[in-house]
Amino acid sequence: MNAIIAGLLCGCAGKSGNAVVATETVSEQLPAAKVLPFNADSAYCLIERQLDFGYRVPGTESHDRCGEWLAAELAARGADTVIVQRGEVTAWNGDRLPIANIMGRWNPEAADRVLLLAHWDSRPWADRETDAVKCDQPIPGANDGASGVAVLLELARNLKAAGIEKGIDILLVDAEDYGTPEHASVWSEESEDTWCLGTQYWLENMPEFKGRTGKPAFAILLDMVGGYNAKFHREYFSNRLASKVVDKVWSAAAQAGHGDRFVNADGSPVTDDHVYLLKAGIPAIDIIECNNAETGTFNPTWHTHADGIGAIDRATLGAVGETVAQVLVNP
């Protein structure tokens, strides 16, 4: 917002030729910090929009329609380019899954880049349900999937107007949540790699992204960022391998007035998309509710049918959105 005002003032001064007025006016504008507004109600509506498509399970029509909508939304929200990477991956049970990783890029020429990501697929099973029939049915994925995407889309809406100079990539990855169910007979140590298939495909097939050009200085993954009274701890892998990024985000949370939610304490280890980015040499962290006060791990709605819109707390979305906005506007 500030950059646009400053630009208009410069333009006016050029026409009038009044250099003194221009200098005074612009210098008054310079100290003002950039502002990236975040509206939690808009983010909430963006979760509803995703749920309206139905289950976002790879290989289904509702999934594909949601993917098309997401690509269009990134463009409508001012991305300079939108890249849809289509591919096919093999799931733990042999299913061949057609997937789409969707990325919007802002300032694609900028060398100083930040990657923000979330998974947009939803889980085909509710393996935390105790009822065997319910177990085999897909979940709405309001918190697990749609919440991270919604926060990123809402941030995207104001990126251009905020005049942020650094390059920003918003990557919506597919097939994060098709991993081996805990109770499956084929479960083994290797099963960890049956998660995050979209991110693994992305890294294998977009080598330039981890190479000299386009490599982000750091990455922030949002996953399960809408639960009631959610608190975020310093997730184990993030803290161990990208502690400076954790420091940066947690201090931005304090600056934004959300230090109560971003707890400065160790969190549990979570296999999530950021782990593969870390393996590829990108400092990446996961903002995820992984130390729920009641369960000690994830939110009680995790991988259950209760993960619908009723599981979403606007205040949590606001805390996360304002924190990431603060990271982006900080120099």
Sites of contact with Zn ion (CB under 5 A): 144, 177
| 177 vs 313 by CB, closer to Zn ion | 177
| Nearest distance in Å: CB 130, Zn ion | 18
| 143 vs 239 by CB, closer to Zn ion | 143
Look up residue 116 and give its two tokens: 């923000």
| Nearest distance in Å: CB 252, Zn ion | 26
| Nearest distance in Å: CB 145, Zn ion | 7
| 144 vs 154 by CB, closer to Zn ion | 144
Please report which residue ranges of the chain form alpha helices under DSSP H: 2-16, 19-29, 40-52, 61-76, 132-135, 147-157, 159-162, 197-205, 207-210, 236-241, 243-255, 273-279, 314-329
Q: How many residues in the chain?
A: 331
| 169 vs 177 by CB, closer to Zn ion | 177
Nearest to 326 by CA among 150, 155, 198: 155
Task: Give the separation between CA 292 and CA 308, rounded to whole angstroms.
Answer: 18
CB of 216 within 8 A of CB of 115? Answer: yes
| Nearest distance in Å: CB 176, Zn ion | 7
| Nearest distance in Å: CB 189, Zn ion | 19
Task: Give the separation between CA 195 and CA 200, rounded to whole angstroms.
Answer: 9
| 286 vs 322 by CB, closer to Zn ion | 286
CA distance to 127, 137, 297, per residue, from 132 (Å) = 9, 9, 22
| Nearest distance in Å: CB 62, Zn ion | 17
Look up residue 149 and give its two tokens: 């995407």
CB of 239 within 8 A of CB of 267? Answer: yes
Report the chain's C-alpha Rg in angstroms: 20
| 144 vs 313 by CB, closer to Zn ion | 144
CB of 240 within 8 A of CB of 283? Answer: no
| 108 vs 308 by CB, closer to Zn ion | 308
Q: Which residues of 186-204 are buried (b: 16+ CB within 10 A; e: fewer)?
A: eeeeebeebbbbbbbbbbe
| 77 vs 128 by CB, closer to Zn ion | 128
| Nearest distance in Å: CB 210, Zn ion | 25
| Nearest distance in Å: CB 303, Zn ion | 6
